[in-house]
Amino acid sequence: MVLATGGIGRAYKITSNSWEYTGDGHTLAYNAGASLIDMEFIQFHPTGMVWPPSVMGILVTEGVRGEGGILTNKEGRRFMFDAIPENYRAQTADNEEEGWLYCQGSKDARRPPELLTRDHVSRCIVREIKEGRGSPHGGVYLDISWIKQKLPNAAEHIKRKLPSMYHQFKQLADIDITEQPMEVGPTTHYIMGGVHVDPDTQMSRVAGLFAAGECAAGINGANRLGGNSLSDLLVFGKRAGEFAAKFAKDNSLGKIDNNKIESVAREALAPFDRSNSESPYQVQQDLQDTMQNLVGIVRNESEMREALGNLDGFKERAERAAVTGNREYNPGWHTALDLKNLLTVSEAITLAALERKESRGAQFRDDYPDKNEEFAKVNTMITKAADGSMNVRLEPLPEMPGYLKQVIEEIK
């Protein structure tokens, strides 16, 4: 079997992910005995739509900032200049004019701070929001309309350079980005962690179970470079398919346990038999709020411990969630079935983030704000214990194969 089920974005309140990104593959593999690795590393895209609620999380391309779009708080201050990391300072503009020249293609100018790494920009936006300087709907402002101060034909320039963004905001939010700023905020975008697989065959530690794409892990490390996900899926999806086919030819089929099938079917239909219970939508909403607020972009131990306590309560509520209606095209039923998967990946993310007592890549802990080189040598590994509980441990990184060391030496 090859798992290629995507990510976990629906565990969070604001996400760019489609509705079916509920950690199904992660949970299937985990329950089958596979390991999950590095689940703490979740990439947040800094600019998603935050208003109106019906379009919350839809991405606003980085091209807006690349064309000169600036981030401001409710006071109108361009706050990204307030926190340029020391290791990026030499590459980053220290004034607005230089940043504008870079966006106009000047090779002598350095990039504006709005074009720093996704995780850094996301954290800066969260800081503004938490300190009360955010926009009315819980974001900040992304303004491309200001370039009318620089270009006489600014409106036509914006429509020509950013046609999809112009139409997206006009149609979905009734905002003309050539005249008004956009309200944006960080949105859950991609999980670097996932099913632990062999890098050559893509097989997990469960014989015959393969994974590829976002539900697998390993290629992206602590933070994904933009554009890598499609290559990841194509290259390792091909490998997974080829080795899964070879495994199927070389091995006989396992036996199907009809009793287990009947048990799973009864469990799946149980929400229809319940009454006087709450909607699964309410449980999912509360879970999303917990993950967004307590295990989001900026983390600390006390908040994550609180989140674990909440998750225990959500598990009990999920067992009682009830639905009505038929079995076809019933999103309430789908949500009830998804809750177990969402709760599993949410617990894995939280436990892994607690175990990694440092800040690295997409994980930022304000109680451990620096990198710790001891954690550079380990992965967080999640497995299912015999009693059904979730076990997390730190596992040393494997030695690099000799042939790879040789390739690296040849490149040098």
Exposure letters 381-410 (e unless 16+ CB within 10 A, then b): bbebeeeeebebeeeeeeeeeeeeeeeeee
Q: Is 65 a catalytic residue?
A: yes
Angle formed by the axes of helices 301-320 and 280-294, nearest 10°: 170
Annotated catalytic residue within 26, 65, 110, 196: 65
Instruction: Give the C-alpha separation, 364 to 356, whole Å.
Output: 10
Instruction: Give the C-alpha separation, 180 to 38, whole Å.
Output: 40
- Are 191 and 16 in contact, with CB atoms under 8 Å apart? no
At 16, the amino acid letter reads S
Instruction: Give the C-alpha separation, 312 to 319, whole Å.
Output: 11
Any idea which residue has 């220290």 for tokens? Answer: 94
369: CB partners within 8 A, 6+ apart = 359
Annotated catalytic residue within 10, 45, 123, 224: 45
Q: Is 45 a catalytic residue?
A: yes
Residue 154 CB: number of other CB atoms within 10 A? 18
Q: Tell me the CB-side half-sphere exposure of residue 264, using CA atoms within 13 A.
A: 7
> Could you give the residue numbers annotated as active site?
45, 65
